[in-house]
Amino acid sequence: MTALLTVEDLWVRFQTRSQIVEAVRGISFSVGRERVGIVGESGSGKSMTGRAILGLVQQPGVVSAKRIDFKGRNLATLRSRDLRAIRGQHISMVMQDPKYSLNPVIKVGNQIAESYRLHHKASRSEAKIKTLEMLKEVQIPDPERVYNTYPHELSGGMGQRVMIAMMLIPNPEILIADEPTSALDVTVQKRILEIMDKLVRDRGMGLIFISHDLNLVSSFCDRILIMYGGRIIETCAAKDLHKTTHPYTRGLLNSLPSLQNPSARLQILNRDPRWKEEPSVNAISENSNV
C-alpha cells in the first residue's frame, strides 16, 4: 500500500521562560489508505502530532521535521497559504468536543455549506444540496430540519456527526480524528464509530485515530502506534496488541478494569524512567513508497 502521508523525524518544542518543553521528540510514521491509531496518555504528544501535521500548533510551539510528505509535497516547508489549501480539502480534522469546534451563532447547515464552498466552486444552492446529501451520509434522520439548527440545539452525538459531515464534505484523503468519541456516551460512541468506519472505507481514505483508549483503538484500527513522552514506544498491528511485550503497553493493558477478567486489585503501572530515553520506534510502513 502506498503511503498517503509520511512523517519523518517530527519535533514539536515549546519555549517557556525557564526551559524548552519537547512535546514530540523525533517520531516517524506513515499512513496509507488504512486506519492508524495513535494511543497515549496525557502528555504523550499524540494530540500535538495531529496538530503538527496540519500546521495548527500555536506559538510558542515550534514544529520541525525532516519531512512531512503528503502526496509528494513536503508540508513542513510549505508557506502558510499553501498549507491552508491542503488543510480541510486534503487533510481534515475532527476534534473531541463539537461544542468548541462549531461556530455557535451560525446555523449548522450553513457552516457545512461554507466548508464546501471554500474548497469547490459552487453556488449556494449546489452547496446546500451537497450538504443535505452529506448529512444523510452521516445518518442524520431529518437533514432538512438539522440544516437549520444551531450547534447548541444538538446533542453530543448529533454534533459530532455534523462535525464529521463538515470535515468530510470537501472529500479529503486523510482524516485526523482527535479523541472524536471521548466526550460521548458509550452507545452513541458505537454509532459514531460505525459511521466513521463506513465513510472511511467507502471513500478509501486514510484515518489517523488519536485516543487514550487502548481497547477502542485496537478494535477500530488496523495499525497502532503507542506514544510515551513524545516518542513512539511501540508499533504493532491492531490484532497483535494483546500479544505485546513492551512493559509500558503491557502495563497499560493490565491496569484496565475488565468486565470479563475481574481482579481484586488493579495492576499499577510502574514507570521506568528509561522508557523516556528509548529511541523512537520507526513506524514508517515497509510497504510504503518512500
Partner 1 sequence: MFEAINLSVWFGTDSDKFQAVNDVSFSIARGESFGLVGESGSGKSTILKAITGLAQDWTGSLNVDGDNLGHKRDRDFYTKVQMVFQDPYASLHPRHTIDRCLSEPLKMRKASNIDARINQSLRDVGLDPSYRFRYPHQLSGGQRQRVAIARALIQDAKFLLLDEPTSALDVSIQAEILNLLNDIKKQRGLTYLLVSHDLAVVAHMCDRIAIMQTGKIVETINKQTLQTATPETDYAATLISASHGFKRDAM
Partner 2 sequence: MLGIDLTKTRQWLETDAPQSRRQAKLSQLYVSWLDLKSNRLAMIGLTVIATLIVTALFAPLLAPHDPYVQDLSNRLQPPLTDGYFLGSDELGRDILSRIIYGASTTLYIVFLVTITAPIIGLLVGTAAGYLGGWTDAILMRLTDIFLAFPKLILALAFVAALGAGIENAVLAIALTAWPPYARLARAETLTIRNSDFIAAIKLQGASPLRIITGHIWPLCISSLIVRVTLDMAGIILTAAGLGFLGLGAQPPLAEWGAMISSGRKFILDYWWVATMPGLAIFIVSLGFNLLGDGLRDVLDPRRQKL
Site residues, partner 2 (CB under 8 A): 14, 16-18, 21
CB 165 within 8 A of CB 133: no
Which option in partner 2, partner 1, none does residue 64 bind, with CB closer than 5 to 8 A by kind?
Answer: none
Nearer to partner 2, 20 or 106 (CB): 20
From the CB of 269, what's the least distance to partner 1, in Å?
Answer: 4
Nearer to partner 1, 124 or 152 (CB): 152
From the CB of 20, what's the least distance to partner 2, in Å?
Answer: 11
HSE at residue 86, side-chain half, CA atoms within 13 A, is: 23
Nearer to partner 2, 18 or 261 (CB): 18
Q: How far is CA 222 from CA 10, 146, 180, 227, 237, in A?
A: 22, 33, 17, 16, 6
CB 65 within 8 A of CB 24: no
Which option in partner 2, partner 1, none does residue 218 bind, with CB closer than 5 to 8 A by kind?
Answer: partner 1
Which residues face 6 on adjacent strands? Answer: 30, 69
Specify the 3-state DSSP secondary structure of 128. Answer: helix
Which option in partner 1, partner 2, none does residue 16 bind, with CB closer than 5 to 8 A by kind?
Answer: partner 2
From the CB of 16, what's the least distance to partner 2, in Å?
Answer: 4
Q: Measure the CA angle with vertex 83, ends 81 and 86; round to 5°.
A: 120
Q: Which residue bears the cell 495548527? A: 56
Nearer to partner 1, 58 or 187 (CB): 187
From the CB of 286, what's the least distance to partner 1, in Å?
Answer: 24
DSSP line for 30-83: EE-SSEEEEE--TTSSHHHHHHHHHT-PPTTEEEE-SEEEETTEEGGG--HHHH
Nearer to partner 1, 105 or 259 (CB): 259
Which option in partner 1, partner 2, none does residue 189 bind, with CB closer than 5 to 8 A by kind?
Answer: partner 1
Which option in partner 1, partner 2, none does residue 17 bind, with CB closer than 5 to 8 A by kind?
Answer: partner 2
